[in-house]
Amino acid sequence: MPEPVIWAPCPNNGREAAENRVVRSFSRSPGSAVAATMLGGTSDLVCGHNGYGYYHVANNHGVDWNQKSILTSENWRDVADYSIAETLRAPQVVTFRASNGTFCYSREIYLVNKVRGLIVDVMYPNVVVRAQDGRIITAFPARAQCR
């Protein structure tokens, strides 16, 4: 796995002013779903708020990412970073949700314990991006591909 990229900080105070601050930019492959196509490009994870972005991922899925990071002996953000990057780079499944204008990218990821060098889990990160601009809405480890 490549070295993790350091994410820009999102403040605990002054969240509204930091809503559009880019935490990390990810390269995104094109995604074709039955009803729509997402062009390749860049997807930004921004600080956001409780409904999307870093704050949403940390508050709603941080525990899930942390459980995966315990298995790999890493920080949860490192596992999330690698998973988001690989999922957007080479998705196995892309679905489109017309109801909220989002694409869901997913792929199989093997988690390796950094200390023992053994595969410790298999997961399917689901990364949801907004169709209009590719901004990351959420990302979470799942047991199944996007539907």
Domain that holds residue 103: 22-140
**Residue 37 located in a structural domain:** yes
- DSSP per-residue string spanning the chain: -PPPPPPPP--SS-TTTTTT-EEEEEEE--EE-SS-EE-SEEEEEE--BTTBHHHHIIIIIHHHHHHHHHHHTS-HHHHHHHHHHHHHHS-SEEEEETTTTEEEEE--EEEE-TTT--EEEEE--EEEEETTT--EEEEE--SS---
**Residue 145 located in a structural domain:** no
pLDDT tens per residue, range 22-71: 999 999 999 988 879 999 999 999 999 999 999 999 999 999 999 999 99
Provide the whole-model pTM.
0.94
Give the count of domains, the chain.
Answer: 1
